[in-house]
Structure formats: C-alpha cells, structure tokens
Amino acid sequence: MSATRVLVLNSGSSSVKYQLLEMTDHRRLASGLVERIGEDGGVADHTEALRQVSAELTAAGLGLDSPQLAAVGHRVVHGGTDFTEPTLITDAVLARIEALVPLAPLHNPANITGIEVARALRPDLPQVAVFDTAFHATIPEAAARYAIDTATAERFGIRRYGFHGTSHAYVSRAAAGLLGKEPSEVNVIVLHLGNGASASAVRGGVCVDTSMGLTPLEGLVMGTRSGDIDPAVVFHLQRVGGMDTDEIDTLLNKRSGLLGLCGANDMREIGRRMADGDERAQLAFDVYVHRLRRYVGAFTAVLGTLDAVVFTAGVGENSAAVRAAALAGLDGLGIVVDPVRNAVRSSSARLISAESSRVSVAVVPTDEELEIARDTYALARG
Ligand code: AMP
C-alpha cells in the first residue's frame, strides 16, 4: 500500500487544528480542532492536545500509525530570513526555528511543540515545516526595509517579513487559474480578510509587497489588531498614559481593530448593528474599508499594471458589503464590481467584476491546509 496521505497540523498558542488529506484526489479524510489548551475545561498542554488528535484519528480508523501516512506538514508562523521555502525538519532545522522565537514569541513556541510531539509519535515519518513568511521572501529590499538605522535594524532583525503567505500563495495562483492564465502572466492584489487581515501585491506569481511587517500587527484594520498607526502613539501611551510595554502590546493586538472601534470584532455583528443605525459600528466599518482602499491604491501603483483584485478568508469570502465598499468608485483604476455577481453567495471561486471592468475582481476561498499538504507531500516524495 503506498503512502499518499498527509496530516497537516496547525498548532496555535491555545489550539491545535488538524486535517488529514488524501493527496491523490485532495480528499479531506478527517479534520478537527482541539481548543482551550491550558485553560479551564481544556486539555493541559500541547502534548495532551496532540494525543487527543492522535486518538481522534485512531477512532476514525485513520491512526497515525497507518502505513498510508506519507508525512506530517506543520504550519510555522515565522521563518525569519532563514526559511524561504518549505523545509524538511531535522534537529538542526528545529534549532533554527527555535532561534526565531524572539521574532514570534506568541506563535513559534506552539509550532515547535507541535513538531516535537509529532516527531516523538512517528519518528520515522518525514515532517515538513511550511512557513507563513516564506511566500514574502521575494519582496525587494525597497519594500522590505524600514527607514531606520541600518545597524539597529540588522542587529534585531527588523524588516518586513509578512504573514498569511500560504494563503496569499494559494489564492494568487488559484486566481490566475480562474482567469485562464498562468501565475507568471498576471499581476494581482490579494486581500486576505479574516480575523487577521493582510494584503499582498503579486507580480507574475512573485510576491513584491505585503501589508504585514515584522509582526502581524501592521497594515489593514483587523478583528482585534489596529493595523497601521503612527509609531509615536506607543511613546505617547507610555509617557502620557503611563502604560507599560505589555499593556500597549495587548491594547494594539487584542483590544483594537474593529473590536476597539465598536466593541465587536465579527463583521456579521457589525453588519447587523449598522442596519440598526449603530453609529460606532458604521464608523468601524468605514475605517476598515478606508484602510483597504488605501492598500488597493498603493499596491496598484506598486504593480504598475493590475489584472485582478482577489478577496479571500472569512470576511473576504462572505461579506459582499465589504467587497462593494472597498472597491466603490474605482472605475478610474479600471475596477468595477458587478452588484448582482457580488451578491451571489457561493463557496466556489468566482468572478464578481462587471463585463466593463478592465481589472477582474474575484472571490477565491483560501485553503491553507491544502497548500501546506501539497508542499509537504512534494518534499516528502523527494
Ligand atoms: P477567518 O479568520 O478567515 O476564519 O475569518 C473569521 C472572520 O470572518 C469572522 O471574525 C467574521 O468577522 C468573518 N465572517 C465569517 N462569516 C462571515 C459572513 N457571513 N459575513 C461577514 N463576515 C463573516
């Protein structure tokens, strides 16, 4: 029996998501989520969570000991400048991922634990790390560098890394397919709008700019993250507000964005409240959309010529209101959304631009797990 299945593990700080995929036909054989790790009512730690994943798979007759399992693919958030492509995990690779913890203190430790536990369970299996930053490694220096003292930047690894790379890679390629083109033939802007949100500019299949930076805090307005702010806001909060570093970190990452503006971080609730005339919800929506438009304009200029704007993730795939507002009045840039096509609810990749639109507008459901599984399978087969 040949080994054609890949287990994808996404070990977050308080949850582990998994999918088991059959790579001959991309069928999802199993998927699940272990939540509230280390919290009341949850499992104790990541080792326990991985044991539960293993038990769930065994109960479904798809145990980790199966000879059909070809490899395990791990999502790893930060690859720094070390990792620019999916990488077969060895002890040396794991040590380098550990060395990157200062760049992603909230994310990389959980990813590492997931890798260690999976390796202990199946030491004979190839295990592959797929990095959230890797797709952005091609961003030229002019876009990746912050205009700060070079020695300081180099000493502390301060530059734009970008995140959600697996999604931007998958969606930009799928969008080219939807247009009947090769990725190398099109320039696209991908708007990944989930609870976290990021934009990227992809020229001929190669990422040339993205909105997230050293950390996932920069760029678009998100569910609970501020996105772009004047960095001097931080000093002001320290000097005038008497807040310390951790308080400001929590404020900007967990209590800002849509939540900070109106008390809700779910776009569905914001839509309902707007319909009831709630002014704070309306303002949150307006700030969110304004930031999106800024990035669409900026990345159009970065690309020079634009073939498609592509929406993905929870908000991008589901909110016709956000899509319409983000691109309204951009016919001067050749971007015209068709209101009827935009209103159609569907889980398939689709075009929502008007016939008259020079630039295509698309909705493409993202599939980070499939992308990780493909990368993993390709490496495992050598
Ligand atoms: P994700 O991180 O990709 O899972 O996206 C999660 C976010 O998608 C949620 O916080 C919601 O704000 C948003 N979302 C999900 N479904 C809808 C919907 N039907 N309409 C608007 N927003 C949605």
Band of residue 158 on the pLDDT scale cut at 50, 70, 90: very high
Q: What is the mean pLDDT of residues 248-258?
A: 97
312 within 8 A of 167, measured Cβ to Cβ: yes
Rounded Cα distance, 293 and 272, in Å? 23
Of the candidates 312, 100, 324, the one whose C-alpha atom is nearest the C-alpha of residue 202 is: 312
Residue 1 has pLDDT above 70, yes or no: no
Nearest CA to ligand 1 atom 2: 194
At residue 39 the predicted structure's pLDDT band, cuts being 50, 70 and 90, is confident
Please give the average per-residue pLDDT across 58-78, as a whole number. 93
pLDDT of residue 2: 86
Write down the mean pLDDT value for the chain.
Answer: 96
What integer is the mean pLDDT of 95-110? 92
CB of 47 shorter than 6 A to ligand 1: no
Token pair 């790893």: residue: 76
CA proximity to 185, closest of 209, 202, 200, 166 = 202
- CA-to-CA distance for 170 and 166, rounded, in angstroms? 6
Regarding pTM above 0.85, the answer is yes
pLDDT digits (tens, 9 = 90+) for 119-150: 998 999 999 999 999 999 999 999 999 999 99
Give the 3-state secondary structure of 293-340: HHHHHHHHHHHCCCCEEEEEHHHHHHCHHHHHHHHCCCHHHCECECHH
Q: Specify the pLDDT at position 41.
A: 84
Name which of 46, 28, 24 is nearest 37 in CA terms.
46
Query: Has residue 220 got a pLDDT over 90?
Result: yes
Residues listed for the chain: 382
Helix (H), strand (E) at residue 350: strand 350-351
CB count, 10 Å around CB of 96? Answer: 15
pLDDT (0 to 100) of residue 363: 98
Give nearest CA residue, ligand 1 atom 17: 318
Catalytically active residues are: 132
Report the DSSP beta bridge partners of residue 361. 309
5-131 is classed in which CATH architecture?
2-Layer Sandwich (3.30)
- Whether 313 is in the pocket of ligand 1, judged by its Cβ within 6 Å, is yes
- CATH number for the domain whose boundaries are 180-368: 3.30.420.40
The helix/strand/coil state of 173 is: helix
Task: Express each pLDDT in 254-270 by its tens digit.
Answer: 999 999 999 999 999 99
Instruction: Using pLDDT thresholds of 50, 70 and 90, give the confidence band for residue 382.
Output: confident
Whether the CB of 257 sits within 6 Å of ligand 1: no
Cα–chain center distance at 49: 23
Residue 72 pLDDT level (bands cut at 50, 70, 90): very high
Residue from 268, 273, 322, 363 to probe ligand 1 pocket by mutation (most atoms less than 8 Å from CB): 268
pLDDT in tens, 175-205: 999 999 999 999 999 999 999 999 999 999 9
**Cα separation of 353 and 155, whole Å?**
46
Numbered ranges of CATH 3.30.420.40 in the chain: 5-131, 180-368
Return the structure tokens found at 153.
């930047």
- Does residue 315 line the site of ligand 1, with CB under 6 A? yes
Select from 95, 97, 96, 119 the least CA-distant residue to 46.
Answer: 119
Query: Looking at this protein, which amino acid is placed at residue 74?
Result: H
What is the structure's pLDDT at 121?
A: 87
Residue 165, pLDDT above cutoff 90: yes
Instruction: Tell me the per-residue pLDDT of 349-362, one tens digit each, with 9 for 90 and over.
Output: 999 999 999 999 99
**Position 226: which residue type?**
S
* Closest listed residue to residue 196, CA positions, set 109, 315, 78, 31: 315
From the CA of 267, how far away is ligand 1's center (Å)? 6
> For the residues 2-23, what does the mean pLDDT come to?
93
How far does the centroid of ligand 1 lie from the alpha carbon of residue 26, in Å? 25
> Which residues lie closer than 8 Å to 285 by C-beta, 6 or more apart?
270, 271, 274, 321, 322, 325
